[in-house]
Amino acid sequence: MEAICSAPDIRGVFQKNVNLGEKSHLGIVGKVDFLFVPEDMDDLIFFLRNINPNINITVLGAMSNVLIRSGGIRGVAIILGQWFKKIFIEDNIVEVGAAVYCNDLSNVSMDAEVGGFEFLMGFPGTLGGAIRMNAGCYGSCIADILIEFEAVTKSGTVKWIDARNVNFSYRKSDISDDLIITRAWLKGIVDARYSIPKKTNEIMKRRREGQPTQKRSCGSTFKNPENIEKKAWELIDAAGCRGMKIGGAMVSEKHCNFLINENNATPEEFEKLGELVRQKVFENSGIQLEWEIIRLGDSAF
């Protein structure tokens, strides 16, 4: 294969022409030229140091907020495997692999009686993606608990980044696209003066009552606009978009900032519906909604 110099020395999974649709939360077809799942950190570093620098590299996690267009992703997609799913807790410091699901982190921390991670319950994504987008809800976000993270450049150099040197804001950070986050250290709360299970259950109850958790979606489709009182769902509702459909894609009746795969939607139907919602909102309010979902790959048309 032209993408790397020494393919036989790779110990992880390496596949060609992979359909990632089944792995995604939307359940929509999404292909990639090559998929690499490293066996461990050394395997990842070896791969990155031997890959042709002209080959495009895309890093994916749980694909909980990713839409892959029908034309697919060119180059190599990297998904961190089991070795990157470790959690270690010492006092109030939690060391977490970037491939750990946020749900699992919240559960493990609760079992260890370490607080501060309750807001992650119900997040379908992995920690690496959550750090990059500064995931959060109900008044808390990753930036509040992040101390430091480890990352590898796409040329294979390991770096450790102090969270104080990262500019975090609402649903984004200035973490370089050249960095693949592999591990993080988070600060929890020992001897919390509240019931961790109770708070976790309250958050899950709010999610079930207010979000279409039983439907295939990518979570919140658009970011809440900054510096205005109304949230994205209110603007979408006011523009008359609740329940709107294009093909198999639909604006959720339950929470209209969720676009759902109601009936075998294509990536194009999903994206067209999102753009139509943005147009309707702009026509109604003059506000341009910004996509929160990450759209990757080439269009088939």
3 pLDDT higher than 60: no
72 lies in the same domain as 116? no
Would 291 be classed as within a structural domain? Answer: no
- Domain closes at, from 24, 56, 79: 79
pLDDT in tens, 174-189: 999 999 999 999 999 9
Q: What is the pLDDT of residue 89?
A: 96
- Please state whether 64 falls in left (phi above 0), alpha (psi between -120 and 50) or beta: alpha
Closest by CA to 252, choosing from 293, 211, 203, is: 211
Domain end (from 54, 79, 104)? 79
Residue range 276-294: mean pLDDT, rounded = 96
d(CA 187, CA 144) in angstroms, rounded, equals: 9
Domain that holds residue 39: 7-79
| Inside any domain, residue 169 | yes
Tokens at 270, concatenated: 């999903």
In a domain, residue 298? The reply is no
**Average pLDDT over every residue of 93-111:** 95
- pLDDT surpasses 60 at 173: yes
Q: CA 112 to CA 129: how far, in whole Å? A: 24
The verdict on residue 97 lying in a domain is yes
Tell me whether strands 189-190 and 114-115 are parallel, antiparallel or unpaired: antiparallel
Same domain, 88 and 183: yes
- Please tell me whether residues 70 and 142 are part of one structural domain: no
Quick one: 170 and 101 in the same domain?
yes
Of the candidates 246, 296, 254, 234, the one whose C-alpha atom is nearest the C-alpha of residue 274 is 246
Q: Between β-strands 140-141 and 136-137, what pairing exists: parallel, antiparallel or unpaired?
A: antiparallel
Q: How far is Cα 101 from Cα 86, in angstroms, rounded to an integer?
A: 10
71's tokens: 């034309």
End position of a domain, from candidates 57, 79, 101: 79
Does any domain span residue 206? no
Q: What is the mean pLDDT of residues 22-26?
A: 72
Residue 199 forms part of a structural domain: no
Sheet of 73-79: strand order equals 13-19, 31-37, 73-79, 57-60
pLDDT of residue 300: 59
Place 29 in a pLDDT band, splitting at 50, 70 and 90.
Answer: low
Active site residues: 171, 220, 292
The answer to whether 138 and 206 are in contact (CB under 8 A) is yes
Q: Based on the fold, state whether residues 186 and 273 are members of the same structural domain.
A: no
Cα–Cα–Cα angle for 218, 220, 223, nearest 5°? 130
DSSP-assigned letter for residue 58: E
Cβ atoms within 10 Å of 218's Cβ, excluding its own: 27
% of the chain at pLDDT higher than 70: 96
5 has a pLDDT exceeding 50? no
Asked if the structure places residue 200 within a domain, the reply is no
The reply to whether 125 and 173 lie within a common domain is yes
| pLDDT per position as a tens digit, 238-278 | 999 999 999 999 999 999 999 999 998 999 999 999 999 99
Tally of domains within the chain: 3
Considering the domain architecture, whether residues 170 and 127 belong to the same structural domain is answered as yes
Q: Kindly report the pTM of this predicted structure.
A: 0.89
Q: For position 152, which CATH number holds?
A: 3.30.465.10
The three-class DSSP label of residue 246 is strand
Q: Confirm whether 290 is domain-assigned.
A: no
